[in-house]
Amino acid sequence: MKRAIHNRDKSYEGIFYVAVKSTNIFCRPGCPARMPMEKNMVFYSTARDALFAGYRPCKKCKPLELSGTLPAWVKKLMEKVETLEGKRIRDREIRIMGIDPARARRYFIKHYGITFHAYQRSRRLSDAFTKIREGNKLDEVIFSNGYESHSGFRDAFGKVFGKPPGKTKADECIVTSLYQSELGPLILGATSKGICLVEFSDRRMLEYQLKTLRKRFDAAIIPGENKHIDHLKAELNEYFAGNLKTFKVPIVYPGTEFQMKVWDNLIKIPYGRTISYIDLAEKIGLKGASRAVGTANGMNRIGIIIPCHRVVNKNGQLGGYGGGLWRKQWLLDLEKSH
pLDDT cut 90: percent of the chain above it: 30
- Dihedral pair phi/psi, residue 279, rounded to 5°: -65, -35
Q: What is the mean pLDDT of the chain?
A: 81
CATH classification of the domain holding 319: 1.10.10.10
* Active-site annotation holds for 308: yes
Question: What's the average model confidence in pLDDT over 70-81?
Answer: 82
How far is the C-alpha of 294 from the C-alpha of 312, rounded, in Å? Answer: 10
- 57-61, 208-212, 276-280 — which one is most confidently predicted on average? 276-280
Hey, what amino acid is at 181?
Answer: S
Report H helices in 13-115.
47-52, 72-83, 91-96, 101-112
How would DSSP label each residue in 1-14?
Answer: -HHHHHTT-GGGTT
Are 25 and 107 within one domain? no
The domain boundary, picked from 123, 140, 167, lies at 167
How far is the C-alpha of 65 from the C-alpha of 79, rounded, in Å? Answer: 25
The answer to whether residue 249 is domain-embedded is no
Region of poorest pLDDT, from 8-12, 27-31, 167-171: 167-171
Candidate list 31, 58, 61, 308, residue with the active-site label: 308
CA-derived radius of gyration, the chain: 22
HSE-CB at 115 with a 13 A cutoff on CA atoms is 9
**Which of 162-191 are b and which e, b meaning 16 or more Cβ less than 10 Å from the residue's Cβ?**
eeebeebeebebbbbbebbbbbbbbbbbbb
Region of poorest pLDDT, from 106-110, 187-191, 215-219: 106-110
pLDDT cut 70: percent of the chain above it: 79
Confidence of residue 265 (pLDDT cuts 50, 70, 90): very high
Confidence of residue 232 (pLDDT cuts 50, 70, 90): very high
Q: What is the pLDDT of residue 72?
A: 83
From residue 302, how far is each of 186, 299, 327 by CA, in Å?
A: 11, 9, 15
How far is the C-alpha of 61 from the C-alpha of 218, rounded, in Å? Answer: 43
CB 18 within 8 A of CB 61: no
CATH classification of the domain holding 207: 3.30.160
Q: Which domain holds residue 17?
A: 2-57
Q: What is the pLDDT of residue 153?
A: 60
In degrees, rounded to 5, the angle at the alpha carbon of residue 136 between the alpha carbons of residues 134 and 138 is 130
Q: What is the pLDDT of residue 148?
A: 55
Q: Which helix (H) or strand (E) holds 66?
A: none
The answer to whether residue 251 is domain-embedded is no
Are 155 and 177 within one domain? no
Hey, what amino acid is at 223?
Answer: P
Task: Write the pLDDT tens digit of every residue in 295-310.
Answer: 898 899 999 999 999 9
Number of domains in the chain: 4
pLDDT > 80? residue 31: yes
From residue 19, how far is each of 7, 16, 334 by CA, in Å?
A: 16, 10, 27
Are 224 and 272 within one domain? no
How would DSSP label each residue in 167-182?
Answer: G-TT--EEEEEEEEET
The answer to whether residue 33 is domain-embedded is yes
pTM for the whole thing? Answer: 0.60
- Dihedral pair phi/psi, residue 163, rounded to 5°: -160, 160
How far is the C-alpha of 245 from the C-alpha of 20, rounded, in Å? Answer: 38
CATH classification of the domain holding 147: 1.10.10.60
Are 138 and 95 within one domain? yes
Confidence of residue 196 (pLDDT cuts 50, 70, 90): very high
Task: Write the pLDDT tens digit of every residue in 115-125.
Answer: 888 777 766 76
How far is the C-alpha of 216 from the C-alpha of 175, rounded, in Å? Answer: 15
